[in-house]
Structure 1
Amino acid sequence: MITRDLDAFFASARQCADDFGPATARAAFLVSPDGFSFAAQSASDNRYMAEAASFDAEAALHEHRALQMALREELPVIAFAGSADTPDAVFPNNVFATAPGKLVVGRMRHAVRQREARRDDIRAFFTGTLGYAETDLSQQPHPCELTGALVIDRARGLGFCGLSERCDERGAALMHAAFGLRATLMFDLKPGEYHLNVLLAILAGRAALVAPNGFADARTAAAIADFYAPHAIMLTDAEQAAFAANAISLGENSVWMSAGAARALTPATRAALATAGFGVRSVALEALEAAGGSLRCCVAEIF
């Protein structure tokens, strides 16, 4: 099922057991910020990006190295080199994503990011080294920026797809099929929001961080929160602006976010995460966040 109908989606979702697959990834890969710089095309529809003068490539490299070191305490981490030709490649989850035994390559909206999909080394790592089958969506015309636009409950096989200039309905349908999901809910983001994963995080299939003000229809955010109750956490505007929703669980008992996001958490949010069984892990990412994304965007999951 892929639908915009809230009632139909959640009626189906409530019948889905948490037996679709592992709730968290078995490894992760990153792309280093070599050539990290301001990309004007990306800035045209990403309000979170800083001005070009705020980009500090050396600081970004140091932060990214610290991120790799921190994440490897939780799971295996692979880092590919970046390139000056792909200044946004530090956010690989928009371009490459996996399901067990499968690599999915997305179709980016902007030409500067479409270059990333042509990385033969990343493709070869999955298809040749790991033996994954490849589903290549990069050559069709509909934008579908993978786990930037599509937040997946991996335990239940459910997709939540925020539609914007970075993902249209046909792109959502292509991703739904590529990941083999049981049900996907499509809905519009507010104008000015580019990716759902700065507004919603599903944590190990049992909790959700929801930033309601980024949804075009408040009923959608409320319905998602109701589905993940009692462990649905509604974020304040300040928490969302600090990228608190751009978080990820890479294990059953932890949630990773940037240090800035962690500082912005209210006592109530911290308490709710603890009640859901999650400890907060954070890494300083101020330089990388100038590019308009945060920790979750830096992490491409390997299932």
Structure 2
Amino acid sequence: MITRDIDTFAAFAREASADFGPATARAAFLVAPDGFALAEQSAQDNAYMAEAAAFDASRASAQHRDLQRAISAVLPTICFAGDPVTPDALFPNNVFGTAAGRVVIGRMRHPVRQREATRADIRSFFREVLGRQEIDLSTQPHACELTGALVIDRARGLGFCGLSERCDEEGARLMHEALGLRATLLFELAPGEYHTNVVLAVLAGRAAVICPRGFADPAIPAAIADLYAPHAAVCDDAEHAAFVGNCIALSADTVWMSANAGVALSDAHRRQLAAAGFAVETVGLEAIEAAGGSLRCCIGEMY
């Protein structure tokens, strides 16, 4: 089922069993920020990006290594080399997504990011080394920036897809089918928002972090919060701006976010996550956040 009707989706979601698959990834992959710099095409519709002068390639590289080292304590994490001609490649979850036995290649909006989908080494790793079926959406005309646009409850097979210039309705349908989801809710992001995973996280199928200002229709975040109540942290504007919504559960008991997000996270929301069984772990990513994404954007998940 793929629908814009929140009531229909919510009724289905409440009855969906948590038996679709593992709630968190088995492993993770990163792409190094080699050539880290302002990607002017991406800046056209990413209001979170800083000016070119704020980009510090050396610091971004060091923080990216810190990120790999930190999350490797929770699950196996590999890192592919970057490429200076693809300055946004450190956000690989937009281009490469996985489900059981499959790897999906997304279709990026901007040409500078479309280059990332041609990476023969990453494709070969999934196809030849891991033996996964490749589903290539990169050559069709509809933008579908995978788990940037589509937040997934992996335990229940539910998708939450925000439509913007980075993902249209047909792109959402293609992702829904490629990932074999049970149900996907479509909704418009608020003007100025580019990816759903900046304003929504579903954590191991049992909690949600929601930034209501990122949704065009306030009924949508309210309904999502109701689905995950009492473990729905509804963020204020300061938390939203600090990328609290761009967090990820990498195990049943940890949620990861940037150090800036950790500082902005309210005590009440920290207690709420603790009540859901999550300890909050943070990594300093200030340099990387200049590129308009944060911790979750850096992590490709292997299911």
Is the TM-score greater than 0.5? yes
Provide the rounded CA distance (Å) in 2 between the counterparts of 1:262 and 1:283: 9
Q: Note the alpha carbon deviations across 1:155-189, whole angstroms, 9 max, x for none.
A: 00000000000000000000000000000000000
Paired position in structure 1 for 2:158? 158
Paired position in structure 1 for 2:18? 18
Paired position in structure 2 for 1:80? 80
Q: Note the alpha carbon deviations across 1:30-72, whole angstroms, 9 max, x for none.
A: 0000111100000000000000000000000000000000010
* Unpaired runs of at least 5, structure 1: none
Paired position in structure 1 for 2:125? 125
- 1:81-230 matches, cutoff 5 A: 81-230=81-230
Supply the AA of the counterpart residue of 1:276: A
Deviation at 1:11, TM superposition (A): 1.1
The residue matched to 2:134 in structure 1 has which SS?
Answer: strand
Identity %: 67
Deviation at 1:192, TM superposition (A): 0.4
Supply the AA of the counterpart residue of 1:202: V
Supply the AA of the counterpart residue of 1:87: P
Paired position in structure 2 for 1:38? 38
Provide the rounded CA distance (Å) in 2 between the counterparts of 1:252 and 1:112: 36
Deviation at 1:100, TM superposition (A): 1.1
Deviation at 1:83, TM superposition (A): 0.6
Does residue 55 of the first structure (1) align with residue 55 of the second (2)?
A: yes
The residue matched to 1:14 in structure 2 has which SS?
Answer: helix
Provide the rounded CA distance (Å) in 2 between the counterparts of 1:278 and 1:47: 30
Does residue 283 of the first structure (1) align with residue 303 of the second (2)?
A: no
Deviation at 1:214, TM superposition (A): 0.8
Deviation at 1:14, TM superposition (A): 1.4
Deviation at 1:12, TM superposition (A): 1.2
The residue matched to 2:15 in structure 1 has which SS?
Answer: coil
Provide the rounded CA distance (Å) in 2 between the counterparts of 1:14 and 1:150: 19
Runs ≥4 residues deviating over 6 A: none
Supply the AA of the counterpart residue of 1:39: A
Deviation at 1:13, TM superposition (A): 1.2
The residue matched to 1:162 in structure 2 has which SS?
Answer: strand
The residue matched to 2:73 in structure 1 has which SS?
Answer: coil
Paired position in structure 2 for 1:237? 237
Provide the rounded CA distance (Å) in 2 between the counterparts of 1:250 and 1:178: 23
Deviation at 1:291, TM superposition (A): 0.3
* Unpaired runs of at least 5, structure 2: none
Deviation at 1:210, TM superposition (A): 0.4
Provide the rounded CA distance (Å) in 2 between the counterparts of 1:273 and 1:228: 12
Does residue 298 of the first structure (1) align with residue 295 of the second (2)?
A: no
Paired position in structure 2 for 1:255? 255
Does residue 273 of the first structure (1) align with residue 273 of the second (2)?
A: yes
Supply the AA of the counterpart residue of 2:74: E
Q: Note the alpha carbon deviations across 1:85-140, whole angstroms, 9 max, x for none.
A: 10000000000010011000000000000000000000000000000000000000
Deviation at 1:15, TM superposition (A): 1.6
Deviation at 1:250, TM superposition (A): 0.4
Provide the rounded CA distance (Å) in 2 between the counterparts of 1:293 and 1:224: 23
After TM superposition, the score normalised by the length of structure 2 is: 1.00
The residue matched to 1:7 in structure 2 has which SS?
Answer: helix
Q: Note the alpha carbon deviations across 1:202-259, whole angstroms, 9 max, x for none.
A: 0000000000011000000000000001101101110010000000000000000000
After TM superposition, the score normalised by the length of structure 1 is: 1.00
Provide the rounded CA distance (Å) in 1 between the counterparts of 2:51 and 2:240: 20
